[in-house]
Amino acid sequence: MFEIIFYRDSKGNEPVKDYILSLFEGDNKDNRIKGNKFRDCIKVLKQNGTRAGRNYVKHLQGKLWELKVLKDRVIFFTYTDNTIVLLSCFRKKTQKTPKREIEKAEKLMTEYTERSKQ
């Protein structure tokens, strides 16, 4: 079992968590379905980590992985043996993960590990 942590920036914002919670606001049925799918995929990630299978996770590079949720992706990394940090999410529009999304996630990962050392 893994502990799931949502990345929190220096201002206290949690972009991935905020996005998921926004899906449950209002009356949009499609958004609620997507929100439930996020919840289910994160539950699978919590139980299996990076061994969740190709339908759920894909290795990107280095320590970075992506969680597949319909057409959305959540980039994450394993911080310790049993801790996963969800860094960012985006809508995937091409077969390859955009380089700017990987660079953004690498920056957030570095920032997270530096702050955690203090």
In what helix (H) or strand (E) does residue 88 lie, and over which residues does it extend? strand 83-91
| Residue 17: count of CB within 10 angstroms of its CB | 16
Kindly report, residue by residue over 52-109, the tens digit of the pLDDT: 999 999 999 999 999 999 999 999 999 988 999 999 999 999 999 999 999 999 999 9
In order of their start, the domains of the chain are 3-117 (3.30.2310.20)
CA 94 to chain centre: 18
pTM of the model: 0.93
Whether 116 contacts 85, CB under 8 Å: no
Which backbone phi and psi does 7 adopt, to 5 degrees? -55, 135
